[in-house]
Each structure stands twice: as C-alpha cells, then as structure tokens.
Structure 1
C-alpha cells in the first residue's frame, strides 16, 4: 500500500480523517510501523493526493491530519475492451488496469466466454471496487476506473462500438494478425483483447469492418492478463501513458 486512500466517509472535519477499518489500520501500524507524528502518503478517492500526519492512535483507529495538495498521476490514454475473463483472472486484471492508469474498461461477452462467468460474485460492484482500490493504492493514484458491461457481443459492436471509439484509433489484437503491435503511441486509442483462445475470426472481422486494425503480439500465445500488461507497456512511452486496442489472445 503505497498510498493510504481515503473516502469522504473517513473525514470527521475539514482536514481530519479517522480510519477504523482493520485493513488500513493494520497496514499503517504493522507494515509502515507508523506512530503518532509520522507522515504518510494519502489521497482522496477521485480527488487530490498529499500527506497525512498521524495525530492519534487508539481503539483500533488511526486519526490523520490531512493536506491534499497535488493532482493524481496522469491517466493512461488507453481505453480498453476486454472479453470477460475467468473470475480468478478478472481479479488480477482489475488490479492491473487500475495500477496502470486505465480509466475506462468494457467487459464484453464473446463466443468463447462461458456465460456462467457473468454470475460470479466478483462482478459485484463492491468486489470490483475493492480490486480497483488495491490497484490505485499500488500506483499512488486516486481516480477510480469506470467499468461497464456488454453482455451481448453483436448489439455492442453494432450499436455502441462506434460511439465508444469516437475519433480515436482502434486496434484488435489477434494471434494471427499480420501486423505487429505498434509501440510508443501517444494519441488516445482503444484496445480490445479477447478471451482465452482469442476472438473468433468472424468477431475480429466485425471489429475490422468498424475501422479497427488487427495486430499481433508475436509467435507466443499469451494469457489474457499477460497480454493486457504487455500491450499497455508497448503502446506507450511508459506504462501510465498507453493506448487501447482490441485483441484475441490465448
């Protein structure tokens, strides 16, 4: 936890926050080994970052005097479309995209996505928020990504995709695409990544008909979580300044 992330509910006064939940209190006392008078990096959800000075520790709570002075890190210029992965992998991916500065993610149904995945408790709003918070704390960021669901492939592609992409460039990653993945793209763009086994050819064609460029990540077939990290790093000069593409990877 590189940043103690605060919510409005933590504040008892204008600049005074009291933390009572076990996770953050345990981390502050057990990992940071902080005491009264120590200063920690803090941030307010969807707001600024700064410092919090511990003014009291008692009754399993930590009180901080907070000064929020700086904007959060610059977000990635990538927006992501991702075929809904298996629930255990989804948890890790949510943390990853949050850490890397992705601020908009569409989880998409495709032919190779088991429909039972949509029933997982991991898609509960609170569960999603927990994973995103962990990613923000890692990166010292405060701005929560926006997650939306497209439970039917064709309606999303036919009715929503063009509006989602707008004037940005779109890429669809596919193991058998001829063009190699570009790198160091600074302009905003969209990346779509498929499920285990990749998008079907007809699904790739649907993206291509709407202006998406097919790209390959090379001869090796990657897991989805690996492909996400690889693409976000490759598309930008650094991992916080990326682009978005559509990909089907194993």
Structure 2
C-alpha cells in the first residue's frame, strides 16, 4: 500500500479522517505510525495529499488531511474485456486498477460461459475494494468506471461509438502479425484495447470489431491465458501512450 485512500464522506467537518480497518492496520503494523508522522493519502477520484497522524487510540488512528494540487488525470487506456471465469476476474481487478484503466467494459462473447454473469465479482460491493487495493499500490486515486454488457453485437454496433469516439482501437488475436508498439497515437487520444475470452474472439466477432476500426495485434507465437494477455497488452498500450504523448487525458 503506497497511498492510503479514503472517500469524502469519511472526513469530518474539520478535515480529519479516522480509520480502524485494514488502513489502520497498515499504519500501525507496517508504517509504525506515531503522532506527528506524515503519510501519503488520497481522496478517491480526487487529489493526492498528506495525512498527519494526530492521535492513536488502540487500533484507531486519526489523521489531518492536507490535499496537494489537482486530481490525477484519467488514464488514457480503456479496456473491452470478454468476461473471464469468476476466479480469473477476481484476480484481475486489482492489477487492472494498478496499471491504470479509465473504463472497463465486461462483455459477452461466443466463448464466454453464460453462468459467468452470475458471479458476485460483478457486484460493486465485491470488486470496488479490489480496485482500491490496486490504486493504493500504484499511488493513484482514479477509480475506473465499470460496465457490464450481456450482448456483444448490439453493444459493438449501437454503443461503442458513443462511448469511444475518435479512439485508437486494437483487438487482441493470438498469432496476429500486428504489434502494439508499431501503433501511433495522437497526443490526447484515448486507446481502447479489446481482449477476448479463453480461445480468443471468433472470426465473426473480430470482423465486427474490424468494421469499427479495431486493428488486430498479437503477442508473439506463445499461447497466453486471457488474464496474462490482458495485463501484457495494457502495459504495452501505456508504453505507446507515453511514447506518443503525455499519457494523460483531461
């Protein structure tokens, strides 16, 4: 945990934050916090800042919040992900937030099992703590937007353009000759990475994406699991964003 996050509703009228959950455990057991010590804090979807420890009572820690500047920019990369198996989805939430994703849309696909949509890992109460864990690791405060769509074709044909206008779009295909690092991104342009299920997108799904301007890219000759491919592609997308611009989108 490289930055302790909190929500605005947790502050009192004097700008003090009281914690006695896992954050207090981190302060007391890992940072060995003492009154007067300054630690890194962040307001969810708000600015980063500092917290000065004012009091410790048992396992309860009180800090005074001091914001520092403007909120961080929204990450320039978004993810369109065919819904993975529940245990894989659970593993992915934290690293997705740590890498930096502005919006995550989980979508159905021909090779997605229908019962995957019944998992509790699609409920905000289950996944938001994992997203916060990833943000705390990265030192960021921007919580990704999350949406779930059960029908692939209507989403691609009817919603995708309105969600991502003027976006550099790529679709992952095992063995595709295209390379993420060969792409060129305009400064300020968002990137959308589409990652299919285990076994990949079907040819029909790839053609639908092709028709919306997606460029097919691969990760070499090795066959990767969808979660491994997802992390690798997002890391490469951020490298493209840094290379071709500031990597920041207002």
Scaled by the length of structure 1, what TM-score is found? 0.90
**Superimposed CA distance per residue, residues 4-49 of structure 1 (whole angstroms, 9 cap, x where no aligned partner):** 10112321223211113x2111111111111111111001111111
8 A contact 1:185–1:236 mirrored in 2? no
CA RMSD of aligned residues (A): 2.0
Q: In structure 1, list runs of 5 or more residues that go unmatched.
A: 244-250
Larger deviation, residues 180-189 vs 84-93: 180-189
Q: Aligned-pair distance for 1:222?
A: 1.3
Match among 216, 222, 243 for residue 214 of structure 1: 216
Aligned length: 242
**Superimposed CA distance per residue, residues 50-88 of structure 1 (whole angstroms, 9 cap, x where no aligned partner):** 110111011431000110113344432111100011112
Tell me the residue number matched to 1:42.
Answer: 41
Tell me the residue number matched to 2:142.
Answer: 143
Tell me the residue number matched to 1:8.
Answer: 8
Q: Aligned-pair distance for 1:182?
A: 2.8
1:36-185 to structure 2, matched below 5 A, reads: 36-182=35-181, 185=184
Q: Aligned-pair distance for 1:242?
A: 6.6
- Rate the CA distance shift 1:239–1:213 in 2: closer, same or farther, 3 A: closer
Tell me the residue number matched to 1:248.
Answer: none
Scaled by the length of structure 2, what TM-score is found? 0.90
8 A contact 2:40–2:49 mirrored in 1? yes
Q: Distance in 1 between matches of 2:55 and 2:240?
A: 39
8 A contact 1:25–1:62 mirrored in 2? yes
1:230-245 to structure 2, matched below 5 A, reads: 230-237=232-239
Q: Aligned-pair distance for 1:181?
A: 2.7
**Superimposed CA distance per residue, residues 130-149 of structure 1 (whole angstroms, 9 cap, x where no aligned partner):** 11100110011111100001
Partner of 2:180, secondary structure, is coil
- Rate the CA distance shift 1:185–1:75 in 2: closer, same or farther, 3 A: farther
- Rate the CA distance shift 1:53–1:108 in 2: closer, same or farther, 3 A: same
Tell me the residue number matched to 2:194.
Answer: 192
